[in-house]
Structure 1
Amino acid sequence: MTRLTALGSGWLAIAALLSVGTAHAQEADADLIKRGAYLATAGDCTACHTKAGGKFMAGNFKLDTPIGAIKTPNLTPDDETGIGKWSYETFEKAFRHGIGDEGEYLYPAFPFGWYTKVSDEDTKAIFAYLKSLPPVKEKREENEIPFLFNVRTALITWRTAFFTAERFKPDPNASAEVNRGGYLVEGLGHCGMCHNERKLVGNSSLAGRFGGGVIDGWYAPNITPDGHQGIGAWSDEEVVAYLKTGTAPGNRPGVAAGPMRQTIEESLSKMTDADLRAMVAYLRTIPAKQTYKEKDLQAFNQPGAPGADTYLTYCSSCHRPDGKGVEGAIPALAGNTSIQSRGPETIINVIVGGLAAQSGYAPMPAIGQEMTDEQIKNVTDYIRNSWGNKAPVVSETGVVASARQKIKTMMAGNAPCSTIDDDKLKASVEQATGGDALKGLKPNDFVPVLSRVAPQVKAAAPEAGDDAVVNGLLSAFCKANRSDRDAEPLPWSATIGSFGNVAYSQVKNPEKRVDAAPGQPPASGASSPKP
């Protein structure tokens, strides 16, 4: 071998080693990004940093807080409007210490009081993931916070009282599973952000830990092991199933709604079963807490109770006179833990705004649109204190009026029609409806049209699932008919509610013909709907 050949062979060997090293580095980076994606999901970053109809993680989601509306920042790596020029040190200071890139204090609406417990390794993985996202140029909109709350230097008082920068400390006497659950619940999961009684106190012993409380107009329930108000009577499997799907198997009624529904869809449902079980194991170690004493509940005379007639008129055809619902189709109200929380906000919001189809359950009409505020208050008290249920009666003046003002949904008729995100499902709905098959459709024609259309859509997009098919048909019906504000012969909320229930029936049981949609409220002078 000549000297030149030897030198060439040496360079080839070095090049090969460098190539292998680069491949290993790229593989390590890919693993880090993948891990960061999972951790960002566990932290539910999408919920607050992606606005409805906006680009992924580009911010400008509106957070309603007690001090005003906060617009969230862009987390994509855009150099001008995002975190493109941020170093890891800058990110870490914001993520775990609540100090922005210009040295400003961040509002505690950003859960750095919980993220401070996240490990160095996980923080680096999250940063790597965010840096890997496609950059989106979207300037952050101005917050809607009045003076003096918009003076960030004043936040030093809150920080001094309630914030301590510290990492999660495993309990040496607890199992590895419990410690993993504690790390997720107290850190990335920031469960106390919603479920603590006093939100602005932060992650501290003063916050009424996990006892439940109001968040953005919804009531986040007690998740301590209390047997009546919390999860004490639930099995581990039931709690895990609820966290993953929004419903629980067996005799645990109810479905997730509001912010919890979004958290399940965008975060908890994408976590591993092992991590969900660990979170439940940790919550079992929290001291049980009662947010109200049963002895302090007001007497509730069920036979002549206000709200009984309203329930029988508007609710009993679906949820049944005994509150047991229809298994697998209509959730039970009797024994429903979430209904018996201290606060009535969630049930009032659902009555006012309705629900889309989810977890195999039929969509719920925004039945409250046809009720007076007094009827909603009374029926809420009736539901929360019948069939063995026990909960405080509605005492806050204006809580129903506040819900009417805040809750905006397609089902209520005060929000835009929902969109169909699945392109294949969208095409299937458009093809089956022929573009105008739903236009001007009246309740008497719901069954014959949907008995033809619903099976076609389901057959053309089987992977979408029944819930998505029902909601897709609801969206199409809304877009075809929303301009008809009179919605004869029923008001809009009753019309779309009836359509949704017939659509559900035909998707679930395509051979079945029904005379009226379950849960359809009667029009003026009409008889009660058939069950």
Structure 2
Amino acid sequence: MIDVPNSNIRGALVAAAWLFGTSLACAQAPSSAPADDSALVTRGEYLARAADCMPCHTSDKSKPYAGGLALNTPFGAIYSVNITSDPTTGIGRWTYDQFKRALHDGIRADGAFLYPAMPFDAYTGIEEADLKALWAYVRRIPPAAVENTENGLSFPFNIRLGMLAWRELFFAPASFKPTPGKSAEWNRGAYLVEALGHCSDCHSPRNILGGIKGKAQFTGADIDGFYAPDIASAALAKNWTKDTLVQFLKTGSAPQKTVVFGPMAEVIHDSLAFLTDADRAAMVTYLLDSPPPPDAPAPQKLSPLPAGVYKRAAKLYIDNCAACHQDHGTGVANAIPPLANNPAVTADEPYNIITVALEGLPAGGTFGAMPSFAGRLSDRDIADLANYVRTSWGNQAAANATAKMVAAWRETVPVPDYGTQAASSFDCGEVGGAPGVATPDPKAVAAISAMLAGGNRDVPAMVSSYQGADPSASPADVVNALVTAYCPVVAASAAETYQKHAELRRFSLEAVADVSPGAAAVAFPPVDTIWASPAGKSLVTREPGSLAGPLKCPADDGKLVPVALAGKASALLGKPTLPVSGDKATQLAGALATTNPKARLSDVANALIASYCTLVVADASLEPAQQHGWMEQFGEQVIETLQLRP
């Protein structure tokens, strides 16, 4: 049965894989040792046996853990590294956090990606307490001054940045979680087999990129001329009983069964023979009852997107975003913002991602500029990419972007930036349109122009007017029509050119924000008061779901508005006479944005809106309709002020 391949590639022989990478690299400041952690060290030694670390990291038996073992892969030789406590050639200067990052995240101490020869795809499941015990043991491995051997990988596999795609598609850091309904013994066995023992890394076939083939997990693999046999539960049940399999894992032989040879002999001799009887029994309990393998790799399993959409969107992310935003959306500290756990990314509306993808972002603060992808990605591409980013790496936003919604937002792109020739001339023939876009209905546009010329700036009313005149119009058509109608009105005003541009830009964003909810794949959750949503460099207004009943203020829990910013907004507002005038609202918005230049404009607006709401609700003399009216006036003025900021 488990007569796995070759003594030169055993154990962590993810050499079945693809790029078997160096597991560790030297790091930085040494950490201080605990006063007495002998019990932890003893447990760590046991766990290191269970994880089968020594055979892979030992070439010269007289220098255990000093590395140098050649792992032969289809892409060239890769050599295990020195993980002794030597401070120069080993990991003697590592910290626990760096050790954990290597095992849990597959990232070296110097920040480079590990190749999956170090089976971090399994070790990511090791529990925190066990990681600490392993670290207590590993840091006491006697130092051996053995230089690491340079890998012999061929181009392009010697470029570690290529691991971005592999990690995005096949790896998701995740700690082991017991399976409900299974016994403690079964779950212990699952932990030993899947995490510490990393059995799947040798006994599962790989695809062309080195990822384990979905339903083929445990079904056997060819490795360097040897065969790691099928150990899926169905295959084991045909030939093994629990008792004989337990004996085999302990001794390497069983009555009337095979005798172990090759790398599996080392696994038993150096690892499994040292485990307790209970742990070996737990492993067998799990192996004889292991669940059917998943259809998809771990990252895809965690996604709510359909399999086809996920694969397409993941490729879009790898091709267009991963080089800067990194795998798993982590970004680069002080250079590129993260996409994981970013509130602008996970807002109820997907406007921010859509706008940034279409328009890019200028350099600002510590972050560099981001290019526009409007010319290289279609509406469907951007919608899929937005939904992928909003639902990956722990982000739990709704996958509500659609191609129709993106098409509507694309209509705001032709509004020229101030300072360009088009903006200076304010040529309305070019503003609001795009090549290949049908001309809006002339009569409907004329009706909207009349509303605007008369001073009506009610965007929802104009949207309804155009949709009534042209029921078949797409969201993009509606936005194009409104901008086409408003452009001459803005052009005829006496405002400065930059003011004209800013006003037309603000109007276009409000128009697209008004038509977008109808194009969403998933309905946006309602809000109780006027609210600001991020949209690239700007923000848009989110209208309350209902104006009936008493006014409800947003929860003061730090989830919707940063606590520090909310405190500053409240202090700035003080206790004014209600209602606050439009001029005063403008001053407040400008002052809070100016004194908090790193804050998102949407957070600035919402901090003021939430603080003002508490003041309005506290006035018991007000009727609900008056409360809502005051909030609408204040919120609109604050948001419009921030929209018009340079």
Which category describes the TM-score, using the shorter chain as reference length? 0.3 to 0.5
Greater Cα radius of gyration, structure 1 or 2? 2
